[in-house]
Amino acid sequence: MRKKVIAGNWKMNKVLSEANEFVEEVKSKVPTSDRVEAIVCAPFPFLPSLVEKTQGSSVKVAAQNMHFEDNGAFTGEVSPVMLKDLGVTHVVLGHSERRELFAETDETVNKKAHAAFNHGLTPIVCVGETLEQREANETKQLVEQQVKKALEGLSDEQVANTIIAYEPIWAIGTGKTASSEDANEVCAHVRTVVKEITSADTADQVIIQYGGSVKPANVDELLAQSDIDGALVGGASLEADSFLQLVEAGTK
Ligand SMILES: O=C(CO)COP(=O)(O)O
Protein backbone atom coordinates (compact mmCIF):
# COMPACT_ATOMS: atom_id res chain seq x y z
CA MET A 1 0.00 0.00 0.00
CA ARG A 2 1.20 3.50 -0.79
CA LYS A 3 2.00 5.74 2.16
CA LYS A 4 0.30 9.11 2.54
CA VAL A 5 2.37 12.26 2.11
CA ILE A 6 1.19 15.47 3.77
CA ALA A 7 3.12 18.53 2.65
CA GLY A 8 2.52 21.98 4.09
CA ASN A 9 3.28 24.70 1.56
CA TRP A 10 3.77 27.85 3.58
CA LYS A 11 4.17 30.00 0.46
CA MET A 12 5.52 33.48 1.35
CA ASN A 13 4.48 33.47 5.01
CA LYS A 14 6.08 33.57 8.49
CA VAL A 15 9.33 35.02 9.79
CA LEU A 16 12.20 32.86 11.04
CA SER A 17 11.15 32.81 14.70
CA GLU A 18 7.64 31.64 13.73
CA ALA A 19 9.03 28.99 11.40
CA ASN A 20 11.30 27.70 14.17
CA GLU A 21 8.47 27.61 16.71
CA PHE A 22 6.31 25.68 14.29
CA VAL A 23 8.83 22.90 13.75
CA GLU A 24 9.75 22.71 17.43
CA GLU A 25 6.13 22.02 18.21
CA VAL A 26 5.42 19.74 15.27
CA LYS A 27 8.50 17.56 15.59
CA SER A 28 7.66 16.56 19.15
CA LYS A 29 4.06 15.69 18.31
CA VAL A 30 4.18 14.34 14.77
CA PRO A 31 3.02 10.72 14.59
CA THR A 32 5.82 8.27 13.85
CA SER A 33 4.25 5.90 11.41
CA ASP A 34 5.55 4.55 8.10
CA ARG A 35 2.07 5.09 6.75
CA VAL A 36 2.56 8.85 6.59
CA GLU A 37 5.31 11.34 5.72
CA ALA A 38 5.21 14.98 6.85
CA ILE A 39 6.96 17.66 4.81
CA VAL A 40 7.25 21.38 5.42
CA CYS A 41 7.78 23.46 2.26
CA ALA A 42 9.36 26.65 3.52
CA PRO A 43 10.78 29.90 2.11
CA PHE A 44 14.52 29.74 1.32
CA PRO A 45 15.81 31.83 4.28
CA PHE A 46 14.31 29.38 6.81
CA LEU A 47 15.70 26.20 5.27
CA PRO A 48 19.05 25.87 7.11
CA SER A 49 17.42 26.39 10.47
CA LEU A 50 14.49 24.06 9.76
CA VAL A 51 16.78 21.30 8.49
CA GLU A 52 18.85 21.60 11.66
CA LYS A 53 15.81 21.60 13.95
CA THR A 54 14.20 18.59 12.28
CA GLN A 55 17.32 16.40 12.43
CA GLY A 56 16.42 13.08 14.00
CA SER A 57 12.68 13.70 13.59
CA SER A 58 10.44 12.35 10.85
CA VAL A 59 9.64 15.82 9.49
CA LYS A 60 11.20 16.53 6.10
CA VAL A 61 12.03 19.97 4.73
CA ALA A 62 11.29 21.11 1.18
CA ALA A 63 12.03 24.21 -0.87
CA GLN A 64 9.20 25.82 -2.85
CA ASN A 65 11.17 26.27 -6.06
CA MET A 66 14.71 26.16 -7.46
CA HIS A 67 16.64 26.84 -10.65
CA PHE A 68 17.61 23.94 -12.91
CA GLU A 69 21.27 24.93 -13.30
CA ASP A 70 23.91 23.94 -10.73
CA ASN A 71 25.41 27.45 -10.53
CA GLY A 72 26.12 30.52 -12.64
CA ALA A 73 24.99 34.03 -13.45
CA PHE A 74 21.35 33.75 -12.37
CA THR A 75 20.90 36.62 -9.92
CA GLY A 76 18.34 35.89 -7.23
CA GLU A 77 18.08 32.18 -7.98
CA VAL A 78 18.79 29.15 -5.79
CA SER A 79 20.29 25.95 -7.21
CA PRO A 80 19.66 22.26 -6.50
CA VAL A 81 23.29 21.97 -5.35
CA MET A 82 22.64 24.57 -2.65
CA LEU A 83 19.45 22.84 -1.48
CA LYS A 84 21.09 19.42 -1.34
CA ASP A 85 24.05 20.85 0.53
CA LEU A 86 21.69 22.26 3.18
CA GLY A 87 20.04 18.88 3.75
CA VAL A 88 16.75 19.73 2.06
CA THR A 89 15.06 16.54 0.77
CA HIS A 90 12.18 17.73 -1.44
CA VAL A 91 11.40 20.60 -3.78
CA VAL A 92 8.04 21.86 -5.05
CA LEU A 93 8.13 22.41 -8.82
CA GLY A 94 5.65 24.13 -11.11
CA HIS A 95 3.25 25.41 -8.46
CA SER A 96 0.43 27.25 -10.24
CA GLU A 97 1.49 30.50 -8.56
CA ARG A 98 4.93 30.13 -10.14
CA ARG A 99 3.38 29.25 -13.49
CA GLU A 100 0.99 32.22 -13.36
CA LEU A 101 3.14 34.87 -11.73
CA PHE A 102 6.73 33.87 -12.50
CA ALA A 103 6.61 32.44 -16.02
CA GLU A 104 7.21 28.81 -15.05
CA THR A 105 6.49 26.52 -18.01
CA ASP A 106 6.13 22.78 -18.53
CA GLU A 107 9.59 22.89 -20.10
CA THR A 108 11.29 24.52 -17.11
CA VAL A 109 9.43 22.19 -14.75
CA ASN A 110 10.85 19.26 -16.72
CA LYS A 111 14.39 20.68 -16.56
CA LYS A 112 13.97 21.20 -12.83
CA ALA A 113 12.66 17.65 -12.31
CA HIS A 114 15.79 16.28 -14.00
CA ALA A 115 17.99 18.61 -11.95
CA ALA A 116 16.25 17.49 -8.74
CA PHE A 117 16.98 13.83 -9.42
CA ASN A 118 20.55 14.61 -10.51
CA HIS A 119 21.08 16.00 -7.03
CA GLY A 120 19.11 13.50 -4.97
CA LEU A 121 16.12 15.76 -4.30
CA THR A 122 12.53 14.48 -4.57
CA PRO A 123 10.38 16.72 -6.77
CA ILE A 124 6.77 17.53 -5.87
CA VAL A 125 5.43 18.40 -9.32
CA CYS A 126 2.24 20.48 -9.35
CA VAL A 127 -0.36 20.32 -12.09
CA GLY A 128 -3.91 21.62 -12.34
CA GLU A 129 -6.44 23.51 -14.38
CA THR A 130 -8.01 26.96 -14.21
CA LEU A 131 -11.75 27.44 -13.71
CA GLU A 132 -12.17 28.30 -17.41
CA GLN A 133 -10.41 25.09 -18.40
CA ARG A 134 -12.57 23.05 -16.04
CA GLU A 135 -15.74 24.65 -17.37
CA ALA A 136 -14.60 23.96 -20.93
CA ASN A 137 -14.15 20.29 -19.95
CA GLU A 138 -10.41 20.46 -20.61
CA THR A 139 -9.18 19.31 -17.20
CA LYS A 140 -8.01 15.81 -18.03
CA GLN A 141 -6.40 16.77 -21.30
CA LEU A 142 -4.56 19.71 -19.72
CA VAL A 143 -3.37 17.77 -16.68
CA GLU A 144 -2.27 14.90 -18.93
CA GLN A 145 -0.16 17.26 -21.00
CA GLN A 146 1.38 18.86 -17.89
CA VAL A 147 2.22 15.44 -16.41
CA LYS A 148 3.71 14.10 -19.65
CA LYS A 149 5.86 17.17 -20.21
CA ALA A 150 7.01 17.41 -16.60
CA LEU A 151 8.14 13.78 -16.52
CA GLU A 152 9.62 13.62 -20.03
CA GLY A 153 12.93 11.76 -20.14
CA LEU A 154 12.86 10.58 -16.52
CA SER A 155 13.51 6.88 -15.88
CA ASP A 156 10.69 4.71 -14.57
CA GLU A 157 12.45 4.63 -11.21
CA GLN A 158 12.61 8.42 -11.09
CA VAL A 159 8.94 8.70 -12.01
CA ALA A 160 8.08 6.20 -9.27
CA ASN A 161 9.87 8.49 -6.83
CA THR A 162 8.22 11.69 -8.01
CA ILE A 163 5.36 13.16 -6.01
CA ILE A 164 2.66 14.61 -8.27
CA ALA A 165 0.31 17.17 -6.74
CA TYR A 166 -2.99 17.77 -8.50
CA GLU A 167 -4.08 21.28 -7.53
CA PRO A 168 -7.05 22.75 -9.39
CA ILE A 169 -6.24 26.46 -9.48
CA TRP A 170 -9.82 27.50 -8.72
CA ALA A 171 -9.64 25.58 -5.43
CA ILE A 172 -6.43 27.20 -4.17
CA GLY A 173 -6.94 29.60 -1.30
CA THR A 174 -10.60 30.03 -2.22
CA GLY A 175 -12.22 27.73 0.30
CA LYS A 176 -13.67 25.80 -2.67
CA THR A 177 -12.47 22.22 -2.55
CA ALA A 178 -12.98 19.90 -5.48
CA SER A 179 -15.41 17.21 -4.37
CA SER A 180 -13.47 14.17 -3.25
CA GLU A 181 -14.91 12.21 -6.21
CA ASP A 182 -13.87 14.87 -8.74
CA ALA A 183 -10.40 15.15 -7.17
CA ASN A 184 -10.05 11.38 -7.23
CA GLU A 185 -11.14 11.17 -10.84
CA VAL A 186 -8.35 13.50 -11.94
CA CYS A 187 -5.78 11.82 -9.66
CA ALA A 188 -6.78 8.45 -11.15
CA HIS A 189 -6.34 9.92 -14.61
CA VAL A 190 -2.86 11.11 -13.65
CA ARG A 191 -2.06 7.55 -12.56
CA THR A 192 -3.32 6.20 -15.91
CA VAL A 193 -1.09 8.69 -17.73
CA VAL A 194 1.90 7.61 -15.63
CA LYS A 195 1.11 3.99 -16.49
CA GLU A 196 0.96 4.86 -20.18
CA ILE A 197 4.39 6.52 -20.18
CA THR A 198 6.08 4.06 -17.78
CA SER A 199 4.61 0.83 -16.42
CA ALA A 200 1.81 -0.48 -14.23
CA ASP A 201 4.29 -1.00 -11.38
CA THR A 202 5.53 2.58 -11.57
CA ALA A 203 1.99 3.93 -11.69
CA ASP A 204 1.16 1.86 -8.66
CA GLN A 205 4.07 3.36 -6.71
CA VAL A 206 3.83 7.04 -7.62
CA ILE A 207 2.41 9.29 -4.91
CA ILE A 208 -0.38 11.58 -6.13
CA GLN A 209 -1.52 14.35 -3.82
CA TYR A 210 -4.54 16.59 -3.98
CA GLY A 211 -4.21 20.28 -3.11
CA GLY A 212 -6.71 23.14 -2.89
CA SER A 213 -8.40 24.25 0.33
CA VAL A 214 -7.55 21.03 2.18
CA LYS A 215 -8.26 21.36 5.92
CA PRO A 216 -8.74 19.06 8.90
CA ALA A 217 -12.50 19.05 8.19
CA ASN A 218 -12.24 17.62 4.66
CA VAL A 219 -8.94 15.72 4.66
CA ASP A 220 -10.34 12.35 5.79
CA GLU A 221 -12.78 12.18 2.93
CA LEU A 222 -10.11 13.14 0.40
CA LEU A 223 -7.54 10.66 1.73
CA ALA A 224 -10.14 7.86 1.72
CA GLN A 225 -10.25 8.01 -2.10
CA SER A 226 -8.52 5.27 -4.09
CA ASP A 227 -6.01 7.48 -5.92
CA ILE A 228 -5.36 10.33 -3.48
CA ASP A 229 -2.15 9.57 -1.58
CA GLY A 230 -1.80 12.76 0.37
CA ALA A 231 -2.28 16.49 0.33
CA LEU A 232 -0.36 19.62 -0.55
CA VAL A 233 -1.78 22.17 1.84
CA GLY A 234 -1.45 25.95 1.92
CA GLY A 235 -3.48 27.93 4.47
CA ALA A 236 -4.25 25.04 6.82
CA SER A 237 -0.56 24.14 7.11
CA LEU A 238 0.43 27.43 8.73
CA GLU A 239 -0.69 26.53 12.25
CA ALA A 240 1.05 23.62 13.96
CA ASP A 241 -2.19 22.22 15.38
CA SER A 242 -3.95 22.11 12.08
CA PHE A 243 -0.90 20.68 10.27
CA LEU A 244 -0.63 17.96 12.93
CA GLN A 245 -4.29 17.04 12.46
CA LEU A 246 -3.69 16.70 8.72
CA VAL A 247 -0.67 14.45 9.27
CA GLU A 248 -2.61 12.41 11.81
CA ALA A 249 -5.32 11.88 9.17
CA GLY A 250 -2.66 10.28 6.98
CA THR A 251 -2.03 7.52 9.54
CA LYS A 252 -5.60 6.18 9.34
O1 LIG B 1 -1.63 25.97 -3.28
C2 LIG B 1 -1.85 25.19 -2.36
C3 LIG B 1 -0.79 24.34 -1.82
O4 LIG B 1 0.33 24.34 -2.65
C5 LIG B 1 -3.19 25.11 -1.75
O6 LIG B 1 -3.39 26.22 -0.97
P7 LIG B 1 -4.67 26.28 0.04
O8 LIG B 1 -4.60 25.01 0.84
O9 LIG B 1 -4.45 27.50 0.84
O10 LIG B 1 -5.87 26.32 -0.85
**What residues form DSSP beta bridges with 164?**
125, 208
The pLDDT tens digits of the residues spanning 53-81 come to 999 999 999 999 999 999 999 999 999 99
193 CB neighbour count, 10 Å cutoff: 21
ipTM of the predicted assembly exceeds 0.95:
yes
Q: Report, as residue numbers or ranges, the catalytic residues.
A: 95, 167
Q: What is the C-alpha to C-alpha distance for residues 65 and 158, in angstroms, rounded to an integer?
A: 19
Q: Are 176 and 137 in contact (CB under 8 A)?
A: no
pLDDT band at 174 (very low <50, low <70, confident <90, very high): confident
Q: Which of 5-9, 84-88, 131-135, 152-156 has the lowest mean pLDDT?
A: 131-135
Nearest residue to 210 (alpha-carbon basis) of 13, 67, 9: 9
Cα of 211 vs centre of ligand 1, distance in Å, is 6
Ligand 1 neighbourhood includes 8 CB (under 6 angstroms) = no
Measured CA to CA, the distance from residue 35 to residue 133 in angstroms comes to 34
List, as own/partner pairs, every contact residues 188-192 make where C-beta atoms lie below 8 angstroms and the sequence separation is at least 24, other chains included.
188/226, 188/227, 189/140, 189/143, 189/144, 190/127, 190/143, 190/144, 190/147, 190/164, 190/166, 190/227, 191/227
Q: What is the mean pLDDT of residues 167-180?
A: 89
Looking at the predicted structure, is the pLDDT value of residue 90 above 90? yes
| Domain extent listing, the chain | 4-250
What is the average pLDDT score of the chain? 97
Confirm or reject: Cβ of 159 under 6 Å from ligand 1.
no
Q: Please state, in angstroms and rounded to a whole number, the distance separating the CA atoms of residues 185 and 212.
A: 15
Pick the CATH number of 4-250 from 3.30.460.80, 3.20.20.70, 3.60.20.10, 3.30.1360.120: 3.20.20.70
Q: What percent of the chain has pLDDT over 70?
A: 100
Residues in the chain: 252
40 in contact with ligand 1, CB cutoff 6 A: no
Tell the burial category of 55 from Cβ atoms under 10 Å away from its Cβ (0-12, 13-18, 19+).
exposed
